[in-house]
Every structure is written in structure tokens, then in C-alpha cells.
Amino acid sequence: MLFSSTHLRKYSLPQILTFSLCTSLAFEGLLPHVTSYNVGDWGDVIAYFSGGVFYYYGHQNLSIKNWEIHKIEKIVNEPMDTKEKILNGALELYNSKGINVSTRHIAAHISISPGNLHYHFKHTDDIVKELYNRLVAAFDELIKDFKQSGAIDRESLKSVYLQSFSIEYKYRFILLNFVEIGKRVPSIQAAYRELVKRRKAEFALIFRKMVSVGYFRSDLPNEIWESLATTFFILGDFWLSHNELIDKLKEYEAAVAYSKLMEYTILPLLADPNGS
């Protein structure tokens, strides 16, 4: 029972009817913000719309004393916030529980209704695809910044390695389950193949520049640079499996350790291994 008779006397019939409608819509996922509250919070709440803004009256402790009025931002602004909340919650669960987490698990984890989640993402794989796209976008930005900086020295490269492994650790569930994800979501597998081609072309340009400025040796055949690009992909995409099985390092500690491994990988290719 949502209200006692004492509570009901405090509100007009239109208010009570509007609250009932809002509650129904909320639990169907049609009011994104409302569903972010625990069900228990509905015990002493009256809600209504006015000018496209959703209001509710109530107190979290379900006390009739010291009623508070809360104004929620216009609902048109809410879906983006809810979408981010879903993605962040899903990322937490995928990283900790694996990729078989259901949309219902995600909805419960972030305290929204399944209907609200499905308003933004109809299927679990849609969430996985969006997170994969964000992983790729983060690397696009990193490579763009590196090329624009024009800095080619050991410290700059250390920074790039560290950022790379930090990004991968953030989205580690993708790389830890990449073969299965590729089979389950063929569009990701196809996108990854195209990404590898694009990245190898980008790496080839970067390697040539590093040779031209004297950072890398100039006496090595092209096959070396092609192999180096492949090595970067193998190390970058699968180091997390090694870490999960052997080292079991966490977050920054893991990124630092495997960044050093990347440094050692290119050491024989440096024009001056002892230089900066």
C-alpha cells in the first residue's frame, strides 16, 4: 500500500491519479529518471508534470514530517545521463563477472527497471558494441594526440604505452573475451579486421618518421617494421590474458608493468639504445 488514509488526505484526487500514472510509466521504463530510485522510496511520494518538467514530493526516509520538494531536470535531458549510467554499470559488471551478464543484471546493478534499460539498449550485445566503439575511440584520440605533438623521445613513448595499457585495462572484458565476442557479434569482428588494417598503416607512417628523425635504426628491412606492428597488436590485445593467469596485477600496476615490456620489445630497434 503506497499511502495511508492520513497521507491521502494531504493530496487532491488529480495529484493522486497523476502519481499513479507516473508510477506506472516509471516501472514500464518510460520515465527514465524515476526508475533510478529504489522502490522503497515510493512510499511517500506524489509526482506530477508541469511544463515538461517532472516533479515529485517526498522524503527518502518515508517520514511525513519535513517534506521536501525535488525538481528533476527536464526529461528530454535525462536519456543521455541514463545511457551513460547503463554503460558505466555494464562495464563494471562485464569486467568483474564476464560477458554473460544479462540486461536484467545490469538494470538491477544500477537500480533502474529493465524496461528503462531496453529503451536505450534492446540487447546486451548492443551495450557490448557501444563499449567496443568507445575503446576504439579512446585509442583514436591517443594516436591523434601523439601524432599532433610531434614528440619522439623515450619519455613521450613511455607515456603513450602507459596510456594504452590503461585504456585496455579499463575495457579489459573485451580483450579477455575477444574471440567469443567476435563470434557472438560478427560486426565487431569485421570492424576489428578493418581496424587492424588502418592501425598498421598508421604505425607504418609513425615508424618511418621515427627512422627519419634518428630514433629508430635505418639499416633494417621493411619486414621488421611490419612485424613490429603485428607484435604491438599481439601484445596489446592479449597481455590481459597473461596478466589474468600469471601476474594478476591490478590497474595502474598492471599498466606500468606491461608498458615496460613494450619498451623492452623495441629496445633492439633503437638507433641509440642508451639515449633519450
Of 78, 135, 87, 134, the residue nearest 110 (C-alpha): 87
Residue 13, pLDDT score: 52
Residue 229, pLDDT score: 92
Contact assessment for residue 10 and residue 65, using Cβ atoms and an 8 Å cutoff: no
Q: What is the pTM of this model?
A: 0.69
Contact assessment for residue 29 and residue 117, using Cβ atoms and an 8 Å cutoff: yes
Cell of 80: 543521455
Task: Give the residue-averaged pLDDT of 63-87.
Answer: 53
> Which CATH number is correct for 124-269, 3.40.50.150, 1.10.3720.10, 1.10.357.10, 3.40.190.10?
1.10.357.10
Over residues 259-271, the pLDDT tens digits come to: 999 999 999 999 9
pLDDT at 242 over 50: yes
What is the location of CATH 1.10.357.10 in the chain?
124-269
Report percent pLDDT > 70 for the chain. Answer: 70
Task: Give the residue-averaged pLDDT of 49-56.
Answer: 41
Over residues 154-168, the pLDDT tens digits come to: 888 889 999 999 999
17 pLDDT tier (thresholds 50, 70, 90): low
